[in-house]
A = this chain, B = another copy of it.
């Protein structure tokens, strides 16, 4: 245990990563109450540093805090999900605009490369790879744009993590052409054009989420 901890600069980062992972890996399920003493014991620390980290994760909206009742793993409602996509739409809009303005040829080549091995009628195994390529594409876009605050908002509100939850993605056959179109606009350095395309792209995905939720959940957010 000592060794594990010492690989990080401090306990905080260690705990932060551990808990964040536990949430994403659903070891801590949405809605679960976090029993401080217990989680602290599991992680081999006392409540003091744990609370510090929980406070941080609360700010990031991964966890919810109710005074005198404690910390709970956050449960996302459909509305919050849609809001995430609305913000994502604009964030990527700004990012892609910047990218179209300033991307170098090799960066454009790189973006194109991400999708090079896929086409509209790919086999099932490739589809899983495609999902990763999709994530890769969007996050590279943000990296190339290199607008720190966008990265911060993304990180801080976990926009991507929430966006790419399993079962929420559209079928590759639908999105592959959209991606190509966006890259084309970038290549032409048509920044407004790229911006409009990516905003449409994400808006469609958002509507898709809407549909999925309505199939799976009741109005009050409970599972059907």
CB distance from A56 to the nearest CB of B (A): 6
CB distance from A154 to the nearest CB of B (A): 11
B9 touches A67 (CB 8 A): yes
A39-97 residues with Cβ-Cβ distance < 8 A to B are 48, 51-52, 55-56, 58-61, 67-68, 79-80, 83-84, 86-87, 89-91, 93-94
Q: Which of B12, B68, B80 contacts A149 (CB 8 A)?
A: B80
B80 touches A87 (CB 8 A): no
A67 touches B12 (CB 8 A): yes
A157 touches B153 (CB 8 A): yes
> Is the CB of A23 closer than 8 A to any CB of chain B?
no
Copies in the complex: 2
Given contacts A48-B48, A67-B9, contact A86 B55 (CB under 8 A): no
- Partner-B contacts on A (CB < 8 A): 9-10, 12, 48, 51-52, 55-56, 58-61, 67-68, 79-80, 83-84, 86-87, 89-91, 93-94, 98, 147-150, 152-153, 156-157
13 A-B contacts (beta carbon < 8 Å): A9-B67, A55-B59, A56-B56, A56-B58, A59-B60, A59-B156, A80-B149, A83-B149, A86-B98, A86-B149, A86-B150, A87-B90, A87-B147
